[in-house]
Amino acid sequence: MPDFSGKRGLVLGVANRRSIAWAIAQKLAEGGAQLAFTYQGERIEKTVRELADSVGSPLVTECDVRADDDIERVFAETAETFGGELDFLVHSVAFADARDLEGRFTDTPRDRFWLALDVSAYSLVASARAAEPLMEAAGGGSILTMTYLGGERAVPHYNVMGVAKATLDASVRYLAWDLGQKDIRVNAVSAGPVRTLAARSIAGFPTMESIVEERSPLRRNIESDDVGLAAAFLLSDEARNVTGTTLYVDSGYHAMGM
């Protein structure tokens, strides 16, 4: 495990203990990082506060990534908490209307198309921009987001989320170019299916898990812990010359053509 002592990070996207963001946060906390957390909505506030307290978090605050005011306030609070500096940002947020993960992509209405791109892709751009001055003050930084193969290939039912992930993946590359000048790295982890809150409600999730077991080179599914380990690497100084890229944690599934 990389050493994160003295490092300060902000984690967006913990909803409960199954969240990929929480698996990542635990690895960073094990490595000695100080972590601030955001949550969306009062419904999950208590859960997120309890998890955050268990790793001694100095800041837990609400953030709806659709709201510029929220993002501005969250980074002001983060700056206040960490003396104006930030070493890393974990972006683990996505949302599409459930109706758009069932039917045909062709039928996605305009407003729900933009909703998915707003929450799942633009939010990375907005939060990277807000993180920039804090990371510059720290002498550099590392930004990590979560993506999925459905942004590169057509995965049945992933639909508008696939279009959002394609936008997210391209945003990683353009942010890497802009922020590289300030020694801020931007990368993504592309995870195979993991049974989180966002995944459990999806019909056919068990089928996807069987497909990964049968067809991936390693013939097994992944765990969120695996994502935590890869994330810790990308966020650490061990990855100091790695930016603008995607690291697949999917048992090799993406490498297959059949």
Stretch of 12-20, 40-48, 157-165, 231-239 contacting ligand 0WE, by CB under 6 A? 157-165
| Cβ distance to ligand NAD smaller for residue 26 or 138 | 26
Footprint on residues 184-223 left by ligand NAD (CB under 6 A): 191, 193-194, 196-199
Counting contacts by CB under 6 A, is residue 157 touching ligand 0WE? yes
Catalytic: 39? no
Q: Taking CB within 5 to 8 Å according to partner kind, which of ligand 0WE, ligand NAD, none is near residue 203? A: none
148 is an active site residue: yes
**In the complex with ligand 0WE, which residue's Cβ is closer, 203 or 258?**
203
What's the 3-state SS for the chain? CCCCCCCEEEEECCCCCCCHHHHHHHHHHHCCCEEEEEECCHHHHHHHHHHHHHCCCCEEEECCCCCHHHHHHHHHHHHHHCCCCCCEEEECCCCCCHHHHCCCHHHCCHHHHHHHHHHHHHHHHHHHHHHHHHHHHCCCEEEEEEECHHHCCCCCCCCHHHHHHHHHHHHHHHHHHHHHCCCEEEEEEEECCCCCHHHHCCCCHHHHHHHHHHHCCCCCCCCHHHHHHHHHHHHCHHHCCCCCCEEEECCCHHHCCC
Residue 24 as a binder of ligand NAD (CB under 6 A): the answer is no
**Candidate segments 52-60, 77-85, 86-94, 96-104, binder of ligand NAD by CB under 6 A:** 86-94
**For binding to ligand 0WE (CB under 6 A), which residues are involved?**
94-96, 98, 101, 148, 155, 157-158, 161, 193, 198-199, 201-202, 208
Task: Give the residue numbers annotated as catalytic, written as ranges.
Answer: 148, 158
